[in-house]
Amino acid sequence: MRADLQVVADLVPPGSEVLDLGCGDGSLLQHLMQRRGCRGSGVEISDEGFHACLERGVPVLQGDIDQGLDDVADGHYDVVVLSQTLHALRRPAFVVEEMMRVARMAILSFPNFGHWPLRMNLAVRGRMPVSGFLPYPWYDTPNIHLCTILDFEDLVTERGLEIDRRVLLDSEGRPAHRRAIRRPNLLAAAVVYRLRAPGL
Amino acid sequence: MSAVSQPGASLGRVETRRTVLFTEDRPLVLESGERIAPVEVAYETYGERNADGSNAVFICHALTGDANAAGHHGDPARPGWWDNIIGPGRPIDTDRFFVVCPNLLGGCQGTTGPSSTDPSTGRPYGLRFPIFSVGDLVTVHRALAAHLEVPRPLAVVGGSLGGMQALQWALDYPDDLGAAVIIAATARLTAQNIAFSAVARAAILRDPDFRGGDYHEHGQPAYGLSLARMIAHITYLSEEAMREKFGRRLQNSEVPRPGFDVDFQVESYLEHQGTSFLNRFDALSYLYLTRCMDYFDPFADEAEAVLRLHEGRTRFLLVSFDTDWRFDTSHSKEIVRVLLAAHRQVSFREIASPWGHDSFLLEIPEYHRTVQAFLRQLANGNGH
């Protein structure tokens, strides 16, 4: 399993019922089901991802997260995960709202567009940044809503959500060196948040 | 898009067997409390049953299917109705699974139905045959499973009315099944669905040859039954499929021949479907089975359905087709919604296919690949 998924997995309380949005090949859910006693299902838009989940025995609904989660009742899940998918959504703020509707706890991860090598790329070389987390050229990228740590935390504040945990990641997806905490928006390549609706 | 691996071969020649599952001493008791005896069931099996019967995959057929799901009865050019998905190396793999396909209760292809002989009169039941439900179809399926020493099928698979049976089975016997594969089905017919059925039944009931259901000495109400089939066939194909298949093309001429004879290809197709149906289907079975579908409403008391499903261990795969307007994707999504509320393990996919409701019978690679992957991981004991 990818290093950043391991960080996400460690933030999921054992025994939770989990919904993984944009679950890809289902490896995170399989890990949570086998190692952490979780139950869960995924939502995946691609045929390849859907098929890979079926082959792993991971329950998966093929669908477009941007359309919302109509089939899911309020508060149905303990945890909802959106891993490395936020920046590819057409309606990221709406999806965050939907996540907080269907679960008490949300775990999100995304690349930090404020990471210094990306800034350098644009500022010094005058080129759109390309990195491990953002490997696509500008004309052929699914990543349409990139943001920085500061930008995202503005949204969190505006929506009245509570940051329960924040883990900064390096460019390999592992927890970043502790120095990164001093200037997270400059030094973290990606970030994982655990959010709660207020008052819970 | 990768194709289904190893399409595999056909099963070759197969045979329908029959067994009496309910007798005068142990009659079939319907949900209504009415009794039927004897009940004979026609069925076929493919592949080898393993020691404890845990590799059994039960096939439930749709409205006009029969026990001959795969293989053929002597003419390889006329294989069973689901031959493209069942066979060695095919998605429902007879090298792995013990596949069972019965003709359903009320049918007319070997299983007891309204045109069978009523032992109390020595004549066909006709309209004296009791009304039965999808739950009653499942009761008979379970009796066959017990007869074949299959205490817990690995999966029940069905399309359309077949999928409705799979859903009912999972609901009524939550510990009975490893999995239910529910394709192009519904938990509740819409008013429009019932309306089409009503017109089809009216065609049969108003045919003078129907004779109140006692037509057996005189022959079928051919006019009404073929008309019923023509109406139904319109709902099986999408508008797109009809346009592609027939367009406005003429059957026998270059120029239109205005008049009331068959002129357009689509008319000829419907005429053919209607007429060929007469050789293989019975008007009374058509009435009873469509009525059985109309009344199917397993989520009428949703809270109770959720509770019952919650107790079970059954896993679900639902598949719909994007051009199916008989049971469109919203029907499948409604089932998904209730299954999720019951915390069941559900996978769901809408498959792109131009062929409408009929798609579930066709060899569509992404569809077959989905069924194959789901059944394979069940067999590998990959469940969590």
Nearest to B347 among A17, A61, A76 (CB): A61
Nearest to B382 among A57, A60, A70 (CB): A57
Q: What is the ipTM of this complex?
A: 0.91
CB contact under 8 Å between A59 and B347, yes or no, is: yes
Nearest to A59 among B337, B346, B366 (CB): B346
Query: Which residues of B are tagged catalytic?
Result: 160, 324, 357
User: Which pLDDT score is estimated for B257?
Assistant: 86
Query: Residues in chain A, how many?
Result: 200
pTM of the model: 0.94
| Secondary structure class of A23 (helix, strand, coil) | coil
User: Which pLDDT score is estimated for B309?
Assistant: 92
CA angle B302, B308, B309 (to 5 degrees): 85
- Rounded Cα distance between B48 and B284, Å, is 35
Cβ atoms of B210 and B204 within 8 Å: the answer is yes
- Rounded Cα distance between B131 and B312, Å, is 29
Report whether pLDDT(A90) > 60.
yes
- Rounded Cα distance between A29 and A55, Å, is 13
Q: B313 in contact with A at a CB cutoff of 8 Å?
A: no
Q: How far is B41 from chain A (nearest CA, A)?
A: 34
Cβ–Cβ contacts within 10 Å for residue B84, how many? 19
Q: How far is CA B86 from CA B20, B51, B89, B157, in A?
A: 26, 21, 8, 11
Identify the residue whose tokens are 């009524």.
B172
CATH class of B193-290: mainly alpha
Residues of chain B with CATH 1.10.1740.110: 193-290
| Secondary structure class of A52 (helix, strand, coil) | helix
Helices and strands, counts by H and E, chain A: 7, 7
User: Which pLDDT score is estimated for B254?
Assistant: 84
CB contact under 8 Å between A57 and B369, yes or no, is: no
Fold of A3-196: Rossmann fold (3.40.50)
Give CA torsion, residues B21, B27, B28, B31, to 10 deg.
-160
- Which residues of chain A are within 8 Å of residue B345 when distances are taken between CB atoms? 39, 41, 59
Task: Mark the ranges of chain B whose per-residue pLDDT is less than 50.
Answer: 1-6, 382-384
User: Which pLDDT score is estimated for A194?
Assistant: 98
Report whether pLDDT(A58) > 60.
yes
Which CATH superfamily does the domain covering B17-188+297-379 fall into?
Answer: Alpha/Beta hydrolase fold, catalytic domain (3.40.50.1820)
- Rounded Cα distance between A57 and B26, Å, is 41
Q: How far is B91 from chain A (nearest CA, A)?
A: 13
At A200, is the pLDDT very low, low, confident or very high (cuts 50, 70, 90)? low
Cβ–Cβ contacts within 10 Å for residue B217, how many? 8
Cβ atoms of B54 and B146 within 8 Å: the answer is no
Determine which of B315, B347, B364, B366 to mutate to test the interface with A (most A C-beta atoms within 10 Å): B347
> Domain map of chain A by residue range?
3-196
Please report the sign of the dihedral spanned by the C-alpha atoms of residue A145, residue A148, residue A152, residue A157. Answer: negative
What does the pLDDT average to over A160-188?
Answer: 95
User: Which pLDDT score is estimated for B75?
Assistant: 95
Residues of chain B with CATH 3.40.50.1820: 17-188+297-379
User: Which pLDDT score is estimated for A111?
Assistant: 96
| Secondary structure class of A38 (helix, strand, coil) | coil
- Which residues of chain B are within 8 Å of residue A17 when distances are taken between CB atoms? 343
At A199, is the pLDDT very low, low, confident or very high (cuts 50, 70, 90)? low
Beta-carbon contacts of A1 under 8 Å, excluding residues fewer than 6 positions away, are A9, A27, A28, A31
At A70, is the pLDDT very low, low, confident or very high (cuts 50, 70, 90)? confident
Q: B350 in contact with A at a CB cutoff of 8 Å?
A: yes
Q: Which amino acid is at B313?
A: R
SS (HEC) of chain B? CCCCCCCCCCCCECCCEEEEEECCCCCEECCCCCEECCEEEEEEEECCCCCCCCCEEEEECCCCCCCCCCCECCCCCCCCCCCCCEECCCCEECCCCEEEEECCCCCCCCCCCCCCEECCCCEECHHHCCCCCHHHHHHHHHHHHHHCCCCCCCEEEEECHHHHHHHHHHHHCCCCCCEEEEECCCCCCCHHHHHHHHHHHHHHHCCHHHHHHCCCCCCCCHHHHHHHHHHHHHHHCCHHHHHHHCCCCECCCCCCCCCCCCCEHHHHHHHHHHHHHHCCCCHHHHHHHHHHHHHCCCCCCHHHHHHHHHHCCCEEEEEEECCCCCCCHHHHHHHHHHHHHCCCCEEEEEECCCCHHHHHHCCCHHHHHHHHHHHHHHHCCCCC
> For a pLDDT cut of 70, what percent of chain A falls above it?
99
- Which residues of chain A are within 8 Å of residue B322 when distances are taken between CB atoms? none
- Rounded Cα distance between A145 and A93, Å, is 10
Cβ atoms of B52 and B98 within 8 Å: the answer is no
Q: How far is B351 from chain A (nearest CA, A)?
A: 10
